[in-house]
Chains A and B, each alone.
Chain A
Amino acid sequence: MPDKMTDEILREKLAAIQSGDMKAFEEVYQSLKTPIMTVAARMTGDRQAAEDILQEVFVRLYKNPPDPKLSKPRAYIFRMARNLAIDSIRSSEPSVNIDECEDVLVHKDADSAEKLDIEAALSALPDAERQTVVLHINGGLKFREIAQITAAPLGTVLWRYNRAVGRLRALLEIK
Chain B
Amino acid sequence: MKNIFALMIAAAMLSASVCAAPAENEEAVVTFVSTSAEDEQEDIVYDEDIGHEEGSESEDPVDDERYDEPADNAVYPTSDDIEKYFDENGWPENVSFICSTGAAMSAFDPATQDKPDDTVTYFWDLGVVGSDNGAVAQIQNMLDLMYSSYRHEITVVNCTLNHEERFDLMNQVTSYIQKAEPNIIVEESFLIKNAEEIQVIVSVAGVDDADEQTVILNDLKKRVSSEYGDLVLIETEQYTADDVTIYGGVSETGVPETEIAELDRGGGEYGVATNYDGTESADDKAEGAVTEVTVPLTVGVAEAITAPEAPQNNIVLWVCVTGALAAALAAAVIIYRKKHVPVYSTENGEITDPAPSAKKQVENAVKNSEITPDDDVFEKITRKIGK
Contact = CB atoms under 8 A, between A and B. Distances in A.
Interface of A: 1, 22, 26, 29, 33-35, 37-38, 41-42, 47, 50-51, 54-55, 58-59, 62-63, 66-67, 70-72, 75-76, 79-80, 83-84, 86-87, 89-90, 105, 107, 110, 114-115, 118-119, 122, 126-129, 131, 133-134, 137-138, 143-145, 147-156, 158-160, 165, 168-169, 172, 174-175
B57 A115 contact: no
Nearest to B385: A62
Count class of interface residues, chain B? 35 or more
Contact of A55 (B56, B57, B372, B381): B381
A51 B381 CA distance: 10
Interface string B56-97: 111111101011011010000000000001000100000000
A115 B60 contact: no
Interface stretch (B45-53, B171-179, B205-213, B247-255): B45-53
A175 B138 CA distance: 32
Contacts, number: 171
Contacts of B49: 70-72, 75, 148
Contacts of A138: 366-367, 370
B2 interface: no
A88 to B, nearest CB: 10
Contacts of A118: 365-366, 369
Contacts of B141: 144, 154
24 contacts: A22-B387, A38-B371, A51-B373, A51-B377, A59-B384, A70-B50, A76-B51, A79-B50, A80-B53, A83-B53, A86-B56, A87-B57, A118-B366, A118-B369, A126-B67, A144-B44, A144-B141, A147-B45, A148-B46, A154-B44, A159-B69, A174-B358, A174-B361, A174-B362
Contacts of A110: 368-369
Interface string B282-293: 000000000000
A153 B387 CA distance: 42
A148 B45 contact: yes
A168 B374 contact: no
A133 to B, nearest CB: 6
A39 to B, nearest CB: 9
Interface in B129-161: 138, 141-142, 145-146, 148
Contacts of B61: 86, 89-90, 127
B363 A80 contact: no
